[in-house]
Amino acid sequence: MSCNDCDKFENEGKIAYYRWNKSNIGMIGCQKHLREIFDTLNKAQKKASEKSKLFKERLNKNAEDFDLIIVDVLEHIDKLEEKK
């Protein structure tokens, strides 16, 4: 159940918008409850951004490792061909 202040905003048709990535999310509520929701969403976006950054770093590290393996394999093939 919503609080009386939230009900007032709903009856007045006031909508607050929150930006999530490239979309706007409309919400109706009193300032106290909207602030709680916005704080939670901000924390979630920050956490998602940090996880995305870590994933990209790991992906880049794996790509670098893969490149080194390919270079080693190619060098090994060259050495085998030289022995022929």
Q: What is the pTM of this model?
A: 0.58
Residue 15: give the domain boundaries: 4-83
Residue 56 has pLDDT above 90, yes or no: no
Among residues of the chain, what percentage have pLDDT more than 70? 99
Residue 76 has pLDDT above 80, yes or no: no
66 vs 3 pLDDT, higher one: 3
- DSSP H helices, 1-84, are 4-12, 31-83
24 vs 53 pLDDT, higher one: 24
Residue 72 sits at the vertex; the CA angle it makes with 68 and 74, to the nearest 5 degrees, is 115
Taking the C-alpha atoms of residue 58 and residue 52, their distance in angstroms, rounded to an integer, is 10
Residue 47 has pLDDT above 70, yes or no: yes
Number of domains comprising the chain: 1
